[in-house]
Amino acid sequence: MNTKMEENIKNGLDFNTVDYSADGTALRIIDQTLLPGKIKFLEIRAKEDIREAIYMLRVRGAPAIGVAAAIGLQVVAQDICARCGDDTDAYFDELHETADYLEAARPTAVNLKWALRRMTAKAEALRSCAAGTAEVTARSVTAELKKEAETIRDEDIDVCRRLGEHGLTVLKKGQGILTHCNAGHLATVRYGTATAPMYLGHERGYGFRIFADETRPLLQGARLTSFELSEAGMDVTLICDNMASSVMKNGWVQTVITGCDRVAANGDAANKIGTSGVAILAKHYGVDFYIAAPTSTIDFDTATGDDIVIEQRDGDEIKKLWYSEPMAPDAVKTYNPAFDVTDNSLITGIITEYGIMYPPYDKSLGELKKIIKENKNK
């Protein structure tokens, strides 16, 4: 794994969070575990290192994970191709094994599965089209997979900007916005999901006042959201998670926008732990609560939030991670789910690249599913 240090980032939009290395042989990511203290880019080639980067949150945020998985799989495919030569069966077997290996890194983020299955489906389509001919080779499939990974990357940028335009329609100049965790530029290739309307509004002089929950236990709001928004020159205030009620009661927040890692077919949404509590507070204080969700994050095969697998993480993230001395006795048990599910009844709307979906979600998301299918068939 190669590293490259960068002295500074001039603006939150000056780089792709996830991309190929300059020579196209490695996955290039910014190591988010070191932010904001250090800015380090990693160039990763081995499947073990790619999985470790996803699991250890060096790359995180559902869209960014999906793009990283797509590029990462193609990077590994380059190595498989070099080793397997003309043995296409061995090539495809190892390609699928690698996809399954990467998919298991984080079970809740649906973009990871979506991107990997799109890549393997592309590979299988190429094999099927060339069945009975001598045209399909590991080299040709690997080359086409690079094009597909680059398409997934470029689509993410376009989707986030379109999502931002739709999100901006429900916001007013000068208003207060609260966000939880990091669904920003760092969680995507560019712009972010929840932050896309904020970036676009900032470009157009909307003068938003943004409140960022610190987001325990990994502090993505403190380390990442406040970092990137302040770097972009926005008015951002960092608060502890248990202060969200206070800023809402004071009338400082008119809208909450968060990202999500998976939306069920009924509109239930899994996002970083604590999101559901923010949604309950917003409902109590009459504050609009929006989920920003690219359609790649919507899992139409999952009926409700009860069916979403919630990742459980090491308890030391609560007791020890940010402290020079443990903050709780070693014998104390911990409960450390990475996500919770926000009930659809608490969600004002789901912002997608196709527009904003409103309740009843079984109807609006059902219509969205038809639109997506029609676009694929064009």
23-68 residue pLDDT tens: 999 999 999 999 999 999 999 999 999 999 999 999 999 899 999 9
Task: Name the more confident of 147 and 85.
Answer: 147
Asked if pLDDT for residue 6 goes beyond 80, the answer is no
pLDDT for res 10: 46
> Has 330 been annotated as catalytic?
no
Strand, helix or coil at 114?
Answer: helix
pLDDT for res 8: 47
Strand, helix or coil at 133?
Answer: coil
315-337 residue pLDDT tens: 999 999 888 888 899 999 999 99
Q: What is the radius of gyration, based on Cα positions, of the chain?
A: 21
pLDDT for res 13: 53
Alpha-carbon torsion angle 284, 287, 288, 290, nearest 10: -80
Residues 343-361: what's their mean pLDDT? 98
pLDDT for res 25: 98
Residues 128-143: what's their mean pLDDT? 80
- Closest to 273 (Cα-Cα) out of 228, 334, 331: 334
Strand residue runs (E) in 15-157: 18-20, 27-30, 40-44
240-266 residue pLDDT tens: 999 999 999 999 999 999 999 999 999
Backbone φ and ψ of 245, nearest 5°? -60, -40
Least confident of 8-22, 210-224, 237-251: 8-22
Asked if pLDDT for residue 5 goes beyond 50, the answer is no
Q: Which of 261, 268, 299, 340 is catalytic?
A: 261
CA distance 179 to 234: 14
Domains of the chain: 2-160 (1.20.120.420), 170-377 (3.40.50.10470)
pLDDT for res 7: 42
Q: Which two tokens stand for residue 259?
A: 């990202």
Taking the model in full, what pTM does it have? 0.89
